[in-house]
Structure 1
Amino acid sequence: MRPKTLLALLLSVTLLATACGTGSGSSKDESGPVQLLVFGAPEELAAYRTLTEAYEKARPGTDVQLVEASDRKDLLARLATSVAGGAPPDLFLMNYRFYGQFAAKNVVEPLDERIAGSDAIDPADYYPVAMDAFTWGGKQLCLPQNVSSLAVYYNRTLFTKYGVPEPKAGWTWNDMVGTAIAMTRDSRGVVVKGTESEGAAARPAVHGLGIEPSIIRVAPFVWSAGGEIVDNPDKPTRLTLDTPVAREALKNLVDLRQAYGVVPTDEEVEAEDDESRFANGRLAMLMSSRRSTTTFRSITDFEWDVAPLPVYQKQVGVLHSDAYCMTRGGKRKDAAWRFLEFAISEEGQRIIAATGRTVPSHIGVSQSPAFLGPSQPPRSAKVFLDTIPTVRALPTVSTWPEIEDVTAGILENALYRGDKLDDVIRDLDQQTRPLFARGEHG
């Protein structure tokens, strides 16, 4: 179970302290570089460096400084403390699931007037589901750089080696489980069935599937089965994982470890995370978003590709989208906007798409060779585009990061320890209701 952190307390205290004093900032840009706060794996950060370097080269005299956080929690903490200290970055890149806590405290600068006056940005050029995810109080607070859903990355070389059919569109959850069982092999290449093994040779050397035990992994399967994860998607007050379809989705998640043993144990994940395990050839399939592509393009030992999520009743994806947001307290707003325009424009999105990091939010770029070109994997990149009409956003509520953190610990114990389903559902409900009650909505 993941340890509790003081991040939520830090954010609430620092944001509360600045809520009343956060204004529109200086109307006159101060000198110095535009600061962009980001986080990511080394390959992702390299993609943003490529973007900023292209901008500076195309527009001599400009200067964009990347402020690199070590991970998402570090980014959130840095943003909160810099806002409290009166020296926030000019721009920050953040997933829609996390920006609500800052939007609710008036930290983010609305962009509607700048968009209306821009010759480079036309909202009609972007996927609506991503644009809508960053509206708060009827205002466009941030502009999305990407629109992605979960996909199933798989090791084609291993599938060929063991003669197992590759995943394909329309496959079901049961198909995925059967495939994961067939791909869970010991060091001799023999299928390891169930959670019991006889001797070291029979322990899985390759696991069939990697999946994060989290609410964002459960949600698309509850939706696919016709259920909901909250009582009201617009103004949620509680989780609704006690319904028959939601219970089934939760049970099926837990069974991956407890009944079939196709996912690594907690100890194995602590020693080597799923993304690294896949890259090292010890994981046949991994459920992840587009962001893994940048890392996996460094793989030289085997061929890999992506497949859509399996379905229960209908295809449904869960939105993954990050956007550039401007802080109200930033001191270089005009300069920050000029970079943001470039980053979101067709030109900027072609640059970042070429790095593999994103499914472009710009519709034209997403359908162009800049994204779909076959020169680099995945060769089935169109899978990400095919799912866009089906993706749904998670609730936009200011306390959603805390809800994710609490539910992750409970779901981890369920998957790895096999906690009773009734206890899991009860704890999920009881521990998140106060967070929903405290939350503010867009």
Structure 2
Amino acid sequence: MRPKALLALLLTAVLAATGCGSGAGSSADGPVRLLVFGAPEELAAYRTLVEAYEKARPGADVQLVEASDRKDLLARLATSVAGGAPPDLFLMNYRFYGQFAAKDVIEPLDDRLAASQAVDPADYYPVAWNAFRWQDRQLCLPQNVSSLAVYYNRTLFAKYGVPEPRAGWTWNDLVATATAMTRDSRGVVVKATESEGAALRPAVHGLGVEPSIIRLAPFVWSGGGEIVDDPARPTRLTLDGPAAREALKNLVDLRLAYGVVPTDEEVEAEDDESRFANGRLAMLMSSRRSTTTFRSITGFEWDVAPLPIYKEQVGVLHSDAYCMTRGAKHKDAAWRFLEFAIAEEGQRIVAATGRTVPSHIGVSQSPAFLGPAQPPRSAKVFLDAIPTVRALPTVSTWPEIEDVTYGILENAMHRGDRLDDVIRELDRQTRPIFARGEHG
């Protein structure tokens, strides 16, 4: 059984058995348990935040519960809710919180916000804030408002004399650049027709991009298409439209026609983020969260560029928020920490670690985020993208949809499945999942 299917069963079982009221406790005392996941550098950012909070408020006690990855976090949250001992707070992306919102696991924060002297919704980017509204209630408070960007190895670009990506570049520019940066061990460009021979496989690939809906979506939108029939109440994918078909074909052609992205075997052996950090990937499409990892790079200089465009600049929202569980034992103490983490001081602390594009407008425009002391020097790329950013649907079954579509898109990119068959299979497998979903 898939982990996400198991998660849904666990949530259903616990809520049917125990209900999901406000929980037994709302004590003002701690300790506050905060469930998070991330790479070691990301977890270090949250430890820094907790240490600053505890130093500023003697006697406060916040305990980080560190999951190994997102699936581990989802499983831990589900089982802890089922066992009647959930964390007080958890950090989750808007694409995944709907499954918990639909089961009434999350404590609405509207009343606490109305009484807060530290947090004013007007100070935050609406696209991130609104992503965590569910049925007219504010369930979680966003810490970041990232989007996809193209990380690139400036040292490699200079070495091979290839112009660096710039604002306004197109998808065709991306393909041409990735082709020029796909090199063998001698530094010679590897043509797609040559790249399958073991002796001629690239030592450096031009681009890393995962074959997923969240990577595909901004290019579908940029070309004037849609990925679902109704963003608010989706019932099906709409990848059969002309703009979506073009974007999907171009995504899989990065491997099939041009050979600029690593094979599935190569990705299995070394993921794209590690490959970039090790100097074997010229460009990588990723969100702001990669910055903390890449700041440890010492062997080359890197920066970020905006996404390429089809017809217009469009980004896809990447945003995580702090959510309070209904069954939290220390809600007042949890709220005090949440206020600190979301307000200016807390956001400055985490922004300085490189982890976030702050959701707080003032902090995002301050030296805490834009300061040139650490890379990327073009951090403003992330801010320039915010007006163009669109959110993916928050239907409760969206995690299952991402899970199913990833496997189909991965086969399309690496196995060469026919485009019509891919689109048909995506629709066949996801329609029943959409039908089971609840909407915010």
Which residue in 1 is equivalent to 2:104?
A: 106
In the TM superposition, what is the alpha-carbon distance from 1:364 to its structure 2 partner?
Answer: 0.1
CA contact (8 A) 2:25 2:328 kept: no
**1:23-47 CA distances to partner (integer Å, 9 max, x unpaired)?**
1013541754100000000000000
Look up the SS of the partner of 1:94 in the other structure. Answer: strand
3-state SS, counterpart of residue 189 of structure 1: coil
Q: 2:13 aligns with which of 8, 12, 17?
A: 17
Task: Give me the whole-angstrom Cα distance separating, in 2, the residues matched to 1:136 and 1:81.
Answer: 23
Give the direction of change, closer, same or farther, for the CA distance of 1:344–1:12 in structure 2 (3 Å limit): same
Distance 1:195 1:368 in 2: 48
> Of 117, 132, 135, which residue of structure 1 is paired with 2:133?
135
1:421 is aligned to: 419
In structure 2, C-alpha distance between the alignment counterparts of 1:288 and 1:118, rounded to whole Å: 34
Q: Does 1:284 align with 2:282?
A: yes
> Mean Cα displacement is larger for which, 52-61 or 18-27?
18-27
The answer on 1:76 being equivalent to 2:74 is: yes
Gap change, CA 1:29 and 1:311, over 3 Å in 2: same
Look up the SS of the partner of 1:262 in the other structure: coil
Distance in 1 separating the partners of 2:66 and 2:193: 41
- Whether 1:244 and 2:242 are equivalent positions in the alignment is yes
Deviations along 1:336-373, one digit per CA (max 9) or x if unpaired, are: 00000000000000000000000000000000000000
Total equivalences in the alignment: 438
SS at match of 1:387: helix
Instruction: Say if 2:146 and 2:288, in contact at 8 Å, map to a contact too.
Output: yes
Are the counterparts in 1 of residues 25 and 327 from structure 2 also a CA contact under 8 Å?
no
Q: Is the 8 A contact 2:29 2:332 kept in 1?
A: no
Q: Would the aligned equivalents of 1:30 and 1:331 in 2 still touch at CA under 8 Å?
A: no
Q: Which amino acid aligns with 1:344?
A: I
| Aligned mates of 1:38, 1:23 — CA distance in 2 | 24
The residue type paired with residue 96 of structure 1 is Y
What's 2:124 paired with? 126
Q: Match of 1:19, as an amino acid?
A: L
TM-score (norm 2): 0.98
Deviation at 1:198, TM superposition (A): 7.9
Secondary structure of the equivalent of 1:337?
helix
Aligned AA (1:406): V
Match of 1:410 in 2: 408
Name the structure 1 match of 2:367: 369
Per-residue Cα deviation, 1:113-137 (whole angstroms, up to 9, x for no partner): 0001000000000000000000001
Alignment match, 2:212? 214
C-alpha separation between the residues in 2 aligned to 1:251 and 1:31? 55
1:96 aligns with 2:101: no
- In structure 2, relative to structure 1, the CA distance for the partners of 1:198 and 1:96 (3 Å cut) is closer
Are the equivalent residues in 2 in contact too, given 1:188–1:201 (CA < 8 A)? Answer: no
Mapping of residues 222-241 of structure 1, within 5 Å: 222-241=220-239
Query: Residues 438 and 199 (structure 1 numbering): CA distance in 2 closer, same or farther, change over 3 Å?
Result: closer
Offset, 1:207: 0.1
**Secondary structure at 2:288 match in 1:** coil
Q: Counterpart of 1:149? A: 147
Alpha-carbon separation, structure 2, partners of 1:203 and 1:52:
46
Structure 1's unaligned 5+ residue stretches are none
Residue 264 of structure 2 is matched in structure 1 by 266
Give percent identity, aligned residues only. 84
Alpha-carbon distance between aligned partners in 1 of 2:405 and 2:336, rounded to the nearest angstrom: 39
Tell me, in whole angstroms, the C-alpha distance in 2 between the residues paired with 1:185 and 1:10: 44
Give the deviation of 1:19 after TM superposition.
2.4
Q: Which amino acid aligns with 2:280?
A: R
Shift of 1:199: 5.5
Q: What residue in structure 2 maps to residue 115 of structure 1?
A: 113
Does the 8 Å contact 1:206/1:284 carry over to 2? yes
Distance in 2 between the 1:197 and 1:293 partners?
30
Matches of 2:56 and 2:433, distance apart in 1: 46
* Structure 2 CA distance for partners of 1:24 and 1:298, relative to 1, 3 Å: same
The CA RMSD over aligned residues, in Å, is: 1.0
Counterpart selection for 2:350 from 343, 349, 352: 352
- State which of 395, 398, 407 in structure 2 corresponds to 1:397: 395
1:52-107 CA distances to partner (integer Å, 9 max, x unpaired)?
A: 00000000000000000010000000001100110000000000000000000000
Structure-2 separation of matches of 1:197 and 1:116 = 60
Match for residue 378 of structure 2?
A: 380
Conserved 8 A contact 1:15-1:105: yes
Is the counterpart of residue 188 in structure 1 residue 186 in structure 2? yes
- Aligned-pair CA distance for 1:200: 4.7
> Aligned match of 2:56 in 34, 55, 58?
58
Q: Which runs of 4+ in 1 moved over 6 A?
A: none
TM-score (norm 1): 0.98
Report the CA distance between 1:333 and its aligned residue.
0.1
- 2: CA distance, partners of 1:9 / 1:199: 40
1:8 aligns with 2:10: no
How far apart, CA to CA, are the structure 1 residues paired with 2:313 and 2:403? 27
Instruction: Verify the 8 A CA contact 1:186 1:201 in the aligned structure 2.
Output: no
Q: Residues 336, 198 of structure 1: CA spacing in aligned structure 2 closer, same or farther, 3 A cutoff?
A: closer
Match of 2:313 in 1: 315
Contact 1:192-1:202 at 8 Å conserved across structures: yes
Q: Which amino acid aligns with 2:140?
A: C
SS in 1 for 2:383: helix
Q: 1:198 to 1:29 in 2, by over 3 A?
A: closer
For 1:425 and 1:220, how far apart are their aligned partners in 2? 18
**Cα distance in 2, alignment partners of residues 122 and 439 from structure 1:** 32
Shift of 1:201: 4.6
- CA gap of 1:9–1:231, structure 2 versus 1, over 3 A, is same
* Structure 2: runs of 5+ lacking an equivalent: none
